Amino acid sequence: MTAVVGSPPQQKLPIVILISGRGSNMLAIAERAANGELPVEVRAVISDKADAAGLAAAAAMNIPTRSLSAREFPDRPTYDVALAALVQSFEPELVVLAGFMRILSPGFIATFADRILNIHPSLLPLYRGLHTHRRALEAGDVLHGCSVHFVTEELDGGPLVIQSQVKVLPGDSESTLSARVQQQEHRIYSQAIDWFARGRLKLREQRAWLDDRPLEAPVIQSASA
């Protein structure tokens, strides 16, 4: 994470993290929060899957965990109302999507308007949706990477905040490329959350603003192998 400009916040920003799997980004965020590198308090980790490995990992760090399965609800809007109520019960000021594999309804997004971040494993707007590493390899891309963006109703289409580029190497497979991209995810997601926690990053007029200036393009980290 790059050096922080300005004074630290008066108190830690309360956040809730949503996951569906092992939660590697969640763990990177929680560990940095625990050791004082990130000025946030992880109020809860919530998953749509009761057996998500990340829940056990969060519990081992004494973070409250909850699961809420969509199978218990008749449709997506009804589920999202319940999910929003569960998230809201922890009173977060930021909702962090970290491998949460459900498309959120407009109602959920409206509940937490301007304060939902997501990490996506591609250089958006390239490769929205799934199988991003495979698609980058099939396209013959020389650069791949990851993006942090604010969440809006458009799937993987919210205002971009920061991206990190990763070189695609000869002989790369989905797994080797994914591993290098994930290392960068852990870096830039914490950076974006740090900016938000310190009041430097905001969503305003459907644009990302950093240090009171609209971002004409995402902040780009140096290309890395």
pLDDT of residue 18: 98
Please name the residue ranges forming H helices in 112-215: 132-139, 174-197
Residue 8: pLDDT band with limits 50, 70, 90? low
pLDDT of residue 223: 54
Identify the helix (H) or strand (E) that includes residue 110: helix 106-111
Q: Which residues pair with 45 in a beta bridge?
A: 17, 65
Residue 139: pLDDT band with limits 50, 70, 90? very high
pLDDT value at 45 more than 90 = yes
CATH ID of 10-113, from 2.130.10.30, 3.30.530.20, 3.40.50.170, 3.40.50.720: 3.40.50.170
Residue 2: pLDDT band with limits 50, 70, 90? very low
> What are residue 83's phi and psi, to 5 degrees?
-65, -45
Count the neighbouring beta carbons within 10 Å of the beta carbon of residue 202: 18
Separation of alpha carbons 122 and 142, rounded Å: 13
pTM of the model: 0.93
pLDDT value at 3 more than 60 = no
Separation of alpha carbons 139 and 225, rounded Å: 18
On average, the pLDDT of the chain sits at 94
pLDDT value at 143 more than 90 = yes
For residues 7 and 166, the model is more confident at 166
| Beta-carbon contacts of residue 15 (< 8 Å; ≥ 6 apart) | 29, 40, 41, 42, 43, 92, 93, 94, 95, 96, 193
Residue 10: pLDDT band with limits 50, 70, 90? low
Of the listed ranges 40-49, 167-176, 192-201, 214-223, the one predicted with least confidence = 214-223
Separation of alpha carbons 146 and 17, rounded Å: 18
Residue 70: pLDDT band with limits 50, 70, 90? very high
Count the neighbouring beta carbons within 10 Å of the beta carbon of residue 80: 21
Over residues 141-158, mean pLDDT = 96
Known binding residues: 23-25, 76, 101-104, 118
Decide yes or no: CATH 3.40.50.170 for domain 121-225.
yes
Separation of alpha carbons 207 and 68, rounded Å: 31
Q: Is the CA virtual torsion 98, 199, 61, 70 positive or negative? A: negative
Is residue 149 among the annotated active site residues?
Answer: no
pLDDT value at 1 more than 70 = no
pLDDT of residue 221: 84
pLDDT value at 23 more than 60 = yes
Known binding residues for (6R)-10-formyltetrahydrofolate: 76, 101-104, 118
Q: Where, residue-wise, is CATH 3.40.50.170 in the chain?
A: 10-113, 121-225
